[in-house]
């Protein structure tokens, strides 16, 4: 009897130890009793500084069944490397323009980190001159090969590249404002991290809405709405706002010309992509911030405080559906400081949007 009890205890201990040493994402994947629907994700720019880590993170996501990795060069090696990870997704690599259609066909979600990274002294406006053409070309391919896919735009400057994609889709007759997103999750990630550090609270419990755009003063974290509530001074709030706005520059300078925010951006991009996939699968109450077409402000594009993704059912505040974002939540109450920031960002954000639109219409 004692021997049987001991064997039972050892089995429980081994089981507990195994679970403790296994990453939670892998545990959920192994023991899930209800397999997720088949979902194909295409990553355009998969061999780059953001593309490689986000390819790995999407390979780890149990909601992905097929992962198409595309870049102009280097993709076969990245695909071979990532394909060895023992998770659900089947990985294929595609290189050169002639294989772009194959990469995109059948995609439910397209993630675009393609383009050049920012270097010291380079503004997001400088990036526009290079990345605008890349985004335009890729958007044309998406319109042709997977016009119904959700599109997550990471390529900077997001304030302009999202309008570029929108104009391309409009010109091809496939534009759906509910399915085009500028990925601004990194600003939220930074705001949460910086707020938790200053307030001395558990970052896992922190939420900070971020509105506006995705560069400089167009990034507006709403620390007045942050949770958990703390008693930070006005000076602290201003310093946190400034650091959030300058987060990208902080990384560029720290890397001293050898790169920009790639790992943190990949992490943030994977969070947003996961939210999109959950929404497609009908998971309720999926909420994220994003740069989208909206009527929250008088600007044609902006980042409202929150988006509700692709959900079935109803709530007290929004009507939801499975075909994309059907309604965006408003900004909520702003402090005087945040209201001033909102007014200050509008001119720059409007200019960036118009630059993207003019690029497509003038080419």
Q: Provide the CATH number for the domain around residue 290.
A: 3.90.110.10
Residue 164's Cβ-count burial label (10 Å; 0-12, 13-18, 19+) is buried
Verify that 46 and 89 share a domain, yes or no.
yes
Same domain for 71 and 177, yes or no, is yes
Residue 297 domain boundaries: 185-352
DSSP 303: B
Is 265 marked within a binding site?
A: yes
Query: Which residues share a beta bridge with 57?
Result: none
Supply the mean pLDDT for the chain.
Answer: 83
CA distances from 264 to 67, 244, 319, 323, 338 (A): 21, 13, 32, 29, 26
State the Cα–Cα distance between residues 302 and 218, nearest whole angstrom.
9
Q: Any residues with CB less than 8 A from the CB of 193 and at least 6 apart, and which? A: 203
189 and 91 together in one domain: no
256 is in an annotated binding site: no
Q: Is 106 annotated as a binding residue?
A: no
CA atoms within 13 A on the CB side of 280: 22
The predicted-structure confidence for 109-130, as pLDDT tens digits, reads as follows 999 999 987 777 777 677 888 8
Say how far apart CA 84 and CA 77 lie, in whole Å.
Answer: 11
Annotation-wise, does 51 bind a ligand? Answer: yes
156 marked among binding-site residues = yes
Check whether 47 is labelled as a binding-site residue.
yes
Mean pLDDT of 209-219: 90
Percent of the chain with pLDDT over 70: 80
pTM of the prediction? 0.84
d(CA 233, CA 230): 9
Q: Based on the fold, state whether residues 248 and 166 are members of the same structural domain.
A: no
Which of the following is catalytic: 59, 214, 278, 350? 214
The verdict on whether residue 154 carries a ligand-binding annotation is yes
Q: Is 214 considered catalytic here? A: yes
Question: Would you say residue 19 lies in a domain?
Answer: no
pLDDT at 8 over 50: no
Residues 171 and 198 in one domain: no
- CATH for 113: 3.40.50.720
What is the structure's pLDDT at 16? Answer: 40
Q: How confident is the model over 239-295, as pLDDT tens digits?
A: 999 999 999 999 989 998 888 899 999 999 999 999 889 888 888 777 788 888 765
Q: Are 153 and 180 in contact (CB under 8 A)?
A: yes
Contacts (Cβ under 8 Å, ≥6 apart) of 186 = 247, 248, 261, 264, 265, 268, 269
Q: What is the pLDDT of residue 306?
A: 38
Verify that 197 and 341 share a domain, yes or no.
yes
Domain boundary at 164, 183, 202, which?
183
Q: Is the pLDDT of residue 19 over 60?
A: no
Residue 358 in any domain: the answer is no
28 is in an annotated binding site: no
């Amino acid at each position: 009897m004692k021997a049987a009890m001991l064997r039972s205890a050892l089995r429980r201990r081994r089981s507990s130890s195994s679970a403790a040493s296994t990453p939670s994402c892998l545990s959920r994947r192994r023991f899930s009793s209800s397999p997720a629907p088949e979902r194909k994700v295409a990553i355009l720019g998969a061999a780059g500084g953001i593309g490689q880590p986000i390819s790995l993170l999407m390979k780890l996501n149990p909601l992905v069944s097929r992962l198409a990795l595309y870049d102009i060069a280097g993709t076969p090696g990245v695909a071979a490397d990532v394909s060895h990870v023992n998770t659900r997704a089947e990985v294929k690599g595609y290189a050169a323009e002639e294989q772009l259609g194959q990469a995109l066909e059948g995609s439910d979600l397209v993630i675009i980190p393609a383009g050049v990274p920012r270097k010291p002294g380079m503004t997001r406006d400088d990036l526009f001159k290079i990345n605008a053409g890349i985004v335009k070309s890729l958007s044309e391919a998406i319109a042709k090969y997977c016009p119904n896919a959700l599109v997550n735009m990471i390529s900077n400057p997001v304030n302009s590249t999202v309008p570029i994609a929108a104009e391309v889709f409009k010109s091809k007759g496939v534009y759906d404002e509910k399915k085009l997103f500028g990925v601004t999750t990194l600003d939220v990630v930074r705001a949460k991290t910086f707020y938790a550090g200053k307030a001395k609270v558990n970052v896992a419990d922190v939420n900070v809405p971020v509105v506006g755009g995705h560069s400089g003063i167009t990034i507006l974290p709403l620390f007045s709405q942050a949770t958990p509530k703390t008693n930070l001074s006005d000076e602290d709030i201003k310093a946190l706002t400034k650091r959030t706005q300058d987060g990208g520059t902080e990384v560029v300078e720290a890397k001293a010309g050898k790169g920009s925010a790639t790992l943190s951006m990949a992490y943030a991009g994977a969070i947003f992509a996961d939210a999109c996939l959950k929404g497609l699968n009908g998971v309720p109450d999926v909420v994220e911030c994003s740069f989208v077409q909206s009527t929250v402000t008088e600007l044609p594009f902006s980042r409202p405080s929150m988006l509700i993704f692709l959900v079935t059912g109803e709530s007290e505040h929004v009507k939801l559906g499975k075909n994309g974002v059907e309604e965006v939540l408003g900004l909520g109450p702003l402090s005087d400081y945040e209201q001033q920031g909102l007014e200050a960002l509008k001119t720059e954000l409007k200019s960036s949007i118009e630059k993207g639109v003019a690029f497509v219409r003038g080419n």
